[in-house]
Amino acid sequence: MILHIDMDAFFAAIEQRDNPTLKNKPVIISGNSKRSVVATASYEARKFGIHSAMPVFQAKQKCSHIIIVPGNMKKYQTISKKIMEIISHFSPLMEQVSIDEAYVDIKGCERLFGSPEKIGQAIKKMIWNELSLTCSVGIAPVKFLAKIASDMNKPDGLTLIEPSRMKNFICSLPIQKVAGIGKSAMKQMRLLQIKTLGDINTYSLPILTQKFGKLGQRLLDLSNGLDASEVQTNYRRKSISSEITLAKDIFDFETIKQMILGRSQSVGRQLRKKKFVCENVFIKLKFSDFSYITRRKKLDAPICSSSAIFNEALSLYKKIQLKKRIRLVGVGVTALKDKSTPVQMQLLPDLDKPKEQWESVDTAVDLISEKFGCDIIKKASLNKRFKP
């Protein structure tokens, strides 16, 4: 059996815990600008229809007495580490998948801690006793069902899907609850009159592949209770990104270039701090009408230099024909590898890009910034004060 532990309104719950005046009140973690978005909403705020990624001005429209609290990521990361230490006490087979959730394979742990349900209750109790925070736990024979189960009785819930109940559960599970089902896939689902995951079994693999591509095979597997994904103890971040919501919609090239530079600097610092290199770079642009696009590029060789990330991100941006003003700019990297991992050497290295030199400069800047603060040294162009 596999457990999925998901903290309840994590950031907001921490702030409510640390500030008793916030308890039982609608709280969101965000900036106070109209351009900011909600990072986390307390359950009191969610009753008004407020959710993560919602613009703050919309949250204020839904709840005039909403309380906005600025986030403290260092505090949240410290508490996250303590939570993962608690969870790992029950099984060494733990996979942290975000700052506030993890999977646990409890194979062979029943002799020490009892039934899966008792283990789930023990984890909840220990997190509460040590950190005064609640979590919801889903327990199932496979990962994808464990995650769905953890969301069924929030907050402070525990849902167990026993092997004998799995088939009936799948047959009645709304198809939109399955991860990976986007808007376009849902259109096809409606055309095919697929309402539950069990309905997938009424179609053959060739038809599912024709309609959903690679997702078709996975959907057929899941509809039969098959999920080959295991709890990965050597969890590694899949991406690093940084984005900024602007104080006003922009269109001019130089200002957008400046924003891309700032985000590239942030991503590069995080990449080097983790001792990673990346093989893909992407940018994200959100427009004034809240639509957005992403563009990505696979690199010829891994990089971790902020300047190299900026050059690739800017190159992606230059290929976009802007028709609308931009409200958000994001830069990110994927396909992360340890910096020490051997890589294929380029047959004809680009002599115009002294990569090692820039990485040495970035490393020196990182050390100075860590000691004296991020604003002590920066690119000259970033001294142009464009307030987000």
Whether 67 contacts 359, CB under 8 Å: no
CA distance 385 to 388: 9
Q: Do the beta carbons of residue 388 and residue 244 sit within 8 Å? A: yes
3 token code pair: 């457990």
- CA atoms of 152 and 19, how far apart (whole Å): 28
Query: Residue 188 and residue 123: Cα distance in Å, rounded?
Result: 40
The single residue of 101, 243, 312, 359 carrying the catalytic annotation is 101
Structure tokens at 68: 């906005």
Does residue 20 have a cis bond before it (omega within 30 degrees)?
no
CA 67, chain centre distance (Å): 24
Alpha helices in 53-200 (DSSP H): 56-62, 73-88, 110-113, 116-131, 143-150, 166-172, 183-191
Q: Are 126 and 105 in contact (CB under 8 A)?
A: no
**183-191 and 205-212 are packed helices; what angle lies between their axes, rounded to 10 degrees?**
140
Half-sphere exposure of 243 (CA within 13 A, CB side): 21
Name beta bridge partners: 244.
329
d(CA 40, CA 53): 8
Has 101 been annotated as catalytic?
Answer: yes
Select from 57, 60, 71, 53 the least CA-distant residue to 13. Answer: 71
Query: CB-based contacts of 351: which residues, under 8 Å, 6+ apart?
Result: none
Looking at the annotation, which residues are catalytic? 101
